[in-house]
Structure 1
Amino acid sequence: MESHKTAPEIKAVPETMTAAFDDFMEAFEAFKETNDRRLGEIEQKLTADVVTRDKVERINRAMDEHKRVIDQLALKKARPALGGGEGGFEAAEHKAAFSAYMRRGDESALRALEGKAMSVGSAADGGYLVPPETDTEIGRRLSAVSPIRALATVRQVSGTVLKKPFATGGMAAGWVAETAARPQTGNAQLAELSFPTMELYAMPAATAALLDDAAVDVEGWIASEIDMVFAEQEGTAFVSGDGTNKPKGFLGYTAVADASWSWGNIGYIATGAAGAFKAASPSDTLFDTVYSLKAGHRQNGTFVMNRKTQGQIRKFKDADGNYLWRPPASAGQAASLLGFAIVEAEDMPDVAADSFSIAFGDFRSGYLVVDRTGVRVLRDPYSAKPYVLFYTTKRVGGGVQNFEAIKLVKFAAS
């Protein structure tokens, strides 16, 4: 007898991660049942019923919504309260001085503290350093909402540029007989990669009344105002940035067919059809992409794509009828594809002709994020009276550090 389950909908936002995960798994079971019916109709009638096809898409969208709720709950759970860190008397003194600067523009205490510490964060340099606990909080939240930052290697620098030598070819070696001559072997080939840090800024405004309210956590307000906009800008730049006044994303480099790959380029595998997976055995492209990586990188591989692309891949099955996409094993974990984790990055392009909509690689080895130490705040009570502006900046850079550790899927015939 045919089942008549309706597409699951979120009627109320679940309060716990467990409840949200249960809703997600219920949606996945409904998706499998309806998609199996769609495939059966195609096999019997060479086409799927419109109602069944629409239902699959509705459930697919519902699964995306359930996953979004899980992500939000996980992000909320990962946010510790500001000001709860340790640091003793010096940290408390810095926090109090910074609060006085933010609320009243009183910089005398900060001058004394940062002068005593020989800090470069003076007013002449463009503002004061955010207290350690606030700076750490912003960085932790960025790790949660910017997926590429969470996957990549992150380096802290004190200068404006990080220069990194990279061995593109190892030293040569060879076998010789016991008494044979030992000719000189080839030297390692080194390339110098440069990662400049670019300025990212935000300028929230507050009224004097808000700053006068002693109950308001000014530092917490700064973090909540800034972390999301910084994360959104970073996430876009790490994926598709062109390197001009922003980090260079892994899609910003020249992409070449993997068979013609050379250092300095990103290799891609074509799907065999323009703007789509090929009709016959569409999952072959995914297998080819996985095995285009060397074993050392493949074992740390992660798929990166947006929700729409993931929605297409959820329908793929292997020869035994098993779905290639697997839901998370538990709340807070990632879904998997071919046994590798999937990270959703909404900055990845939708599937279209010649688009690079899927990336797979060892991003820890392949991509480098460079943070210049410190988030700075400059208080401006004059430019937008009666508002007080807080010109907040950080310097961040990024780029590919190992060009053989990341591969792309190109939705094209070749």
Structure 2
Amino acid sequence: MTEALEQIETKATLTVAETGEITGMAWPFGTTDLVGDVIEKGAFDRPQSLPMLAEHDSGQTIGVWSEITETPEGLHVKGKLLIHDVPRAREVADQIRQGDLGGLSIAFVTKAAQRHTKGRNITALSLREVSIVKQPCNPGAHVVSLKSIEKESHMENEASQTPANDAPQIDAKAFDAVVQRLDKLEAKGNRLGAPAVVQGDAEQKAFVNYLMTGSEIDKKALTTAADTSNHILMPDEVSNEFIRNLVEFSPVRAISDVRSTGAANIILPKRTGITNAIWVGETTPRTGSQPTFDQSEIAVKELATYVDLSLQLAEDSANVLSEVTTALAEDFGQKESLAFVNGSTALEPSGFMKDANIATTANGSKTALSPDALISLMYALPATYRATGTWVMNGKTLATIRTLKDGHGNYLWQPSYQAGQPETILGRPVVEAVDMPDIAADATPVIFGDFKRGYRIYDRLNVAVLADPYTVRVNGLMRYHARRRVGASVVRPDAFRKLAMAV
């Protein structure tokens, strides 16, 4: 494999001490990551030291891993965050303590692997760096400990009973060597004529050739969808671009909690009862309590279509990839958006407007939108959801609200004064969703709530494509069958409130 075509892959567990010393499980053996890959014991080359990054950001090294060891359980790493020298390292340490970061993800170049129906068995690889991340590719990869930054803190002695002298000492020459190695990787990616995306470059080329010709040779070099024969998974960088295009047509995805899953059904615990603590005197008997729990299920649904392109367009390598992904993203995005809002059948994700558990606020009129009702709706939500809430409505409703004023003559709607920032209603952002109902008697044209906490989307399969060069070839066309699998549902009805056009 040549240097220019190396595929750098990322996988990920972590522990940090507050002196900057950090230990973690970089890869647990006997586990499968989110994309179906398994790394076998003995596959790692285990260099003497590695750069420590945050979220694989090669722009700044936040520390050095000085010990890389392989045990029967997995690949363990130990090193030190440069908390006294690099501001970003101090930020990462704080985020680990707060629980915002805690995963580990490895970047590597595959040297030997065998493909199977769900992914790969990797038997040899070259480690490039280990990053501290929020969402590791392998759920079992995490930080184990972080020692205290504050010298006067007693947390370290109480928690780990580790003397300060045991902290790993970073050799200056070793650190310089790691930085130089990282600089070379960064320079290689930025030099004139280098491919814009290093990871998956060869796979992307094979995918474009497959779209152009439907060739079985190129198809064998790609990853086949595990749950459907013949359909080919888009390479990661193409799939990521597809998702970005999807957000343009499915705005709910941009404000909701979006996760990945490998399951057909997701079971979530749900608390249905609370404890019953009461105020007591010094000798008053105490009462016991036990909260009750239930389960909620989010089923993954399938969305499928096909698109026809002319053979001449398919043969134009400069256009075929963008044309296929844009056409599919527009179609999938529109269908997704409709389902996320109004989905109610057994074949669709559950729409938030169809959730009977979301409370409503009466508008006070069946025909004219009331500014007082919007204010009442917003403040009917608990403060924790109100402070992070988003308004969702269609363009007609938004046009009406733009004309409304409060009792002091101030417009409820305010424009965006900064590029990239949304317009607001009563100080909270508003998102336009074309599938929301119009203002009409007994309709619910407006919803407000915390979508990040209240509405969850699970992606099971981003997009899989089957190129069919035969069915419509007589008309000079190439047909592309595509499918994706996604599930969604309201997980916290109390995080939302709908406006009902009722008295």
Q: Shared fold (TM-score greater than 0.5)?
A: yes
1:267 equivalent among 347, 359, 366: 359
The structure 2 residue matched to 1:404, chosen from 494, 498, 503, is: 494
Pick the aligned partner of 1:188 from 291, 295, 304: 291
**Which residue of structure 1 lines up, in the alignment, with residue 243 of structure 2?**
139
1:97 and 2:206 correspond: yes
Change (3 A) 1:351 1:84: farther
Aligned residues: 308
SS in 2 for 1:343: strand
Paired AA for residue 364 in structure 1: K
Deviation for aligned residue 1:138: 1.0
Superposed, 1:317-336 pairs within 5 Å as 317-336=405-424
Q: Secondary structure of 1:273's match?
A: coil
CA distance in 1, matches of 2:293, 2:195: 45
Instruction: Kindly state the Cα deviation for residue 153 of structure 1 after the two structures are TM-superposed.
Output: 0.5
Q: Residue 388 of structure 1 is aligned with which of 478, 481, 502? A: 478
1:111 aligns with 2:220: yes
Q: What corresponds to 1:53 in structure 2?
A: none
Query: 399-408 or 267-276: which moved more?
Result: 267-276
Amino acid at match of 2:336: E
Residues 294-314 of structure 1: CA distance to partner in whole angstroms, max 9, x if unpaired?
111111111111121122222
Cα distance between partner residues in 2 of 1:252 and 1:367: 13
Normalising by structure 2, we get a TM-score of: 0.58
| Shift of residue 179, structure 1, vs aligned partner | 4.9
Among candidates 180, 197, 200, match of residue 86 of structure 1:
197
User: What's the CA shift for 1:188?
Assistant: 2.2
One-letter code aligned to 1:198: K
1:133 is paired with a residue of what secondary structure?
Answer: helix
- 1:219 corresponds to which of 296, 321, 343: 321
Q: Residues 359-399 of structure 1, C-alpha deviation per residue, up to 9 Å, x if partnerless?
A: 01111111111111331001122322332211011111111
CA contact (8 A) 2:222 2:233 kept: no
* Cα distance in 2 for residues equivalent to 1:211 and 1:312: 45
Q: What is the CA–CA distance in structure 2 between the aligned matches of 1:95 and 1:147, rounded to whole Å?
A: 27
Alignment RMSD = 2.2
The amino acid across from 1:388 in the alignment is: M
Q: 1:288 aligns with which of 372, 376, 380?
A: 376
Quick one: higher RCO (CA 8 Å, sep 6+), 1 or 2?
A: 1
Q: Say if 2:442 and 2:501, in contact at 8 Å, map to a contact too.
A: yes
Deviation digits for residues 207-248 of structure 1 (CA, Å, limit 9, x no counterpart)? 33333334x332222111111111111111111111421111
* Rounded Cα–Cα distance in structure 1 between residues aligned with 2:295 and 2:442: 31
CA distance in 1, matches of 2:417, 2:338: 29
- Residue identity (%): 34
Q: Which amino acid aligns with 1:173?
A: A
Contact conserved, 2:277 with 2:287, CA < 8 A, in 1? no
Alpha-carbon distance in structure 1 between the residues aligned to 2:427 and 2:195 = 38
Contact 1:151 1:363 in 2 (8 A): yes
Residue 177 of structure 1, CA deviation: 4.5
State the Cα distance separating 1:112 from its structure 2 match: 4.6
SS of 2:271's equivalent? strand
- The 8 Å contact of residues 245 and 329 in structure 2, kept in 1 or not, is answered as yes
Identify the residue that residue 234 of structure 2 maps to in structure 1. 130
Name the SS of the counterpart of 1:221 in structure 2: helix
Q: Give the helix-richer structure, 1 or 2.
A: 1
Match of 2:306 in 1: 203
Return closer, same or farther for 1:236/1:113 CA change in 2, 3 Å cut-off. closer
The TM-score, its normalising length taken from structure 1, stands at 0.69
The question of 1:350 aligning with 2:438 is answered yes
The question of whether the paired residues in 2 share the 8 Å contact of 1:85 and 1:133 is answered with no
Q: List gaps (5 residues or longer) in structure 1.
A: 1-82, 115-119, 255-264
Q: 1:371 to 1:407 in 2, by over 3 A?
A: same
Give the equivalent residue in structure 1 for 2:97: none
| Mapped pair 1:248 → 2:248 | no
CA contact (8 A) 2:203 2:221 kept: no
